[in-house]
Amino acid sequence: MWQRAEQLRLHAAYTYDHLSWRVPFRDRTWFEAVPTLTAAAGVTERMRLGTLVTSVKPRSCVTG
């Protein structure tokens, strides 16, 4: 999909990063944003890649 988008000369592609889903997405497979973008970067050369939404709080490092 990422390679095809680049072949079509799209200049940017984005993915989502949500921790929970509502219908109709709840029963579908989905992947975390960072690994998805890493895979996309490995097979594309020119496209800008990013997330539409990033859920930062659950990934924060808490020390204390």
Summarised one tens digit per residue, pLDDT across range 13-63 is 998 776 666 666 667 777 778 888 999 999 999 999 998 877 666 555 555
Say what the pLDDT of residue 56 is.
65
Provide the residue ranges of all domains of the chain, joining segments of one domain with +.
2-59
Phi and psi at residue 41, to the nearest 5°: -65, -30
Say what the pLDDT of residue 22 is.
66
Say what the pLDDT of residue 19 is.
63
What is the rounded CA–CA span in Å between residue 13 and residue 9? 11
What is the rounded CA–CA span in Å between residue 47 and residue 54? 19
